Amino acid sequence: MRTTMSLRGLFLAICAMLLSAALAAPKNIILMIGDGMGPDSVYAAGAYTFGNDYHLFGGKEMLTMETLRNHLYVTTFSSEGHGYDFDWTGGNWDYVKTRATDSAAAATALATGVKTYDAAIGVNPRKQPLTNIVEIAKKRGMKTGVISTVPFSHATPAGFTAHNESRNNYTALTHDMIFNVQPDVIMGAGHPDGAQAGKEYEYITKEDWEALRDGKTPYTLIQDRADFQKLIAQPQQGRVFGAFRNHFCMKYCNADRAAADPNLPTPAEMAEGTLQTLNNPNGFFVMIEGGAIDWCNHADDLNGSIGETLAFDEAIDAVIKWIARNGGWEQNLLIVTADHDTGYLNSVQPTEKGKLPNVKWGTDEKKWTSHTNRLVDVFSQGDGAALLTQIAKDAQDFERGKIRCIDNTDIFKAMDAALGLRGAQAPAGARRKAVAVAG
Ligand SMILES: [Zn+2]
């Protein structure tokens, strides 16, 4: 018995050694989520930008996110879903219209590795709080942040920084974010200005807003584009709450950018300022959301969807350039994904460069304006990315063909395992956990 145990111990030690040699720990983890950005949202943005030069239509051009080294597909269903049938129940195109996840359950899965009910924020199906990746990173002495183009306590950022039985309790979520979980950077819409009368304090209570404004929280409040831009050249040491002057949603632009509001920071500016603020010797975790892609897809607004996807892609470009200046891929893990598909965008065909492509929303004359259970993309590169690719399984998908696929909970598992590889800072159990996940 004793001999068996020690041999097993030796085997595990060798596995851990081999694995840590192949998988160095990233100093920083950057997770970027295009909300509702199904693969066809990416194709539509590429078809608009490059026309027939886009790689899907005979050319070589691709969007920035598509240049990342690893590509897999992701299943997104919540605990209320019916899983994902790669055969689409014998090729039934209506199959994916039912039981799609909402953004809260999807964010909770990505942030905690646990599938839960729709509307749940950081709690399991029994409504008990779950430990999220922000809390795990904080325990390791890392800085953390969540930023979005939609309100700061909307489902995706809240799923990483709060615990509540409902995504609709916006002010309670914001309170939890500011006073309990306390990431170092929070940015988003939700500003009281510009709201309909009586809705000013929909996302943050008057009391919490005044505390934030009067410097009675651990955060410095910034509101003007110039202050967001200033973070890039002169990063702040302390915590930053960036509430740009927009109540509901940045809705940054249309495909041609004509609708962009020059008074708001761009997603790329918010991302770069955040990375600069979080940069420190112990590393950081940040979640950056392109939140309005989903809102455009709900409205079957192709022009807006392409504009928001391109603005998100520009933020990815800013992040990749920041990585090149700050330790490169050997110190940074970048993961770009979506929480689910919205709008059932499909049949994308370019017309010409700079013109909206021809598309369909859904499968029949009646357009689809909800989420779907379709697969989404995950693009990744950097130290620890192998933790994702090793989890992936081969699959034959009815819509996407022969693919490699993971589940949304695997993204948490890979990030958690990557943190577990962080040598001296890792508690004793973390390295073993990394072996279990990757193996
Ligand atoms: Zn969503």
C-alpha to C-alpha distance for 336 and 316, rounded to whole angstroms: 8
How confident is the model at residue 361, as a pLDDT?
Answer: 97
Q: How far is the CA of 361 from the centre of ligand 1 (A)?
A: 17
pLDDT at 10: 61
Listing DSSP states for 67-106 in one string gives: GSSEEEEEE---TTS----TTHHHH-TTGGGSS---HHHH
Q: Is the Cβ–Cβ distance between 296 and 305 less than 8 Å? A: yes
Separation in Å, CA 18 to CA 7, 15, 301, 388, 413: 16, 5, 49, 17, 19
The CA 102 to ligand 1 mean position distance, Å, reads 6
Q: Please choose, from the candidates 422, 427, 408, the residue with its C-alpha nearest in 3D space to the C-alpha of residue 31.
A: 408
User: Ligand 1 centre and the CA of 103: distance in Å?
Assistant: 4
pLDDT in tens, the chain (439 residues): 344 445 666 655 555 544 544 567 899 999 999 999 999 999 999 999 999 999 999 899 999 999 999 999 999 999 999 999 999 999 999 999 999 999 999 999 999 999 999 999 999 999 999 999 999 999 999 999 999 999 999 999 999 999 999 999 999 999 999 999 999 999 999 999 988 899 999 999 999 999 999 999 999 999 999 999 999 999 888 999 999 999 987 666 789 887 678 889 999 999 999 999 999 999 999 999 999 999 999 999 999 999 999 999 999 999 999 999 999 999 999 999 999 999 999 999 999 999 999 999 998 778 999 999 999 999 999 999 999 999 999 999 999 999 999 999 999 999 999 999 875 444 433 333 333 333 2
Cα 326 to ligand 1 centroid, rounded to whole Å: 30
Which two three-digit tokens encode residue 37?
A: 């950005």
Q: Give distance in angstroms: CA of 290 to centre of ligand 1.
A: 10
The closest alpha carbon to 349, from 364, 360, 341, belongs to 360
Q: How far is the CA of 340 from the centre of ligand 1 (A)?
A: 6
DSSP letter assigned to residue 164: B
Give 364 Cα–ligand 1 centroid separation in angstroms: 23
Q: How far is the CA of 9 from the centre of ligand 1 (A)?
A: 43
What is the distance in A from the centroid of ligand 1 to the CA of 251?
15
Q: Token pair for residue 345?
A: 């965008």
| Residue 130, CA atoms < 13 Å, CB-side half-sphere | 26
User: Could you tell me the strand order of the sheet in which 284-290 lies?
Assistant: 219-222, 239-243, 185-189, 143-151, 284-290, 28-34, 332-338, 376-382, 70-75, 401-407, 393-397
Residue-wise DSSP of 198-236: T-TTSSS-HHHHHHHHTT-SSEEEE-SHHHHHHHHHS--
- Between the CA of 327 and the centroid of ligand 1 the distance, in Å, is 31
DSSP E strand stretches across 107-201: 143-151, 185-189
| Cα-to-centroid distance, 438 and ligand 1 (Å) | 27
- Expressed in angstroms and rounded, the spacing between residue 261 Cα and the centre of ligand 1 is 23
Residue 107 Cα to ligand 1 midpoint, Å, equals 8
pLDDT score of 434: 37
pLDDT of residue 375: 98
Q: Measure 406 CA to ligand 1 centroid, in angstroms.
A: 18
CA of 77 from ligand 1 middle (Å) equals 12
Cα(432) to centroid of ligand 1, in Å?
33
Q: Which residues pair with 395 in a beta bridge?
A: 403
Q: How far apart are CA 238 and CA 259, in angstroms?
A: 34
Using the mean position of ligand 1's atoms as its centre, give its distance from the Cα of residue 101 in Å.
8
- Compute, in angstroms, the gap from residue 76 CA to the centroid of ligand 1: 10
- Ligand 1 center to 338 CA (angstroms): 8
User: Ligand 1: distance of its center to the CA of 419 in Å?
Assistant: 25
Contact between 390 and 438 under an 8 Å Cβ cutoff? The reply is yes
CATH architecture of structural domain 23-438: 3-Layer(aba) Sandwich (3.40)
Cα(34) to centroid(ligand 1), Å? 8
Distance of CA 252 to CAs 113, 255, 295, 430, Å?
31, 10, 12, 40
| pLDDT score at 433 | 38
Query: Which pLDDT score, from 0 to 100, does residue 352 have?
Result: 94
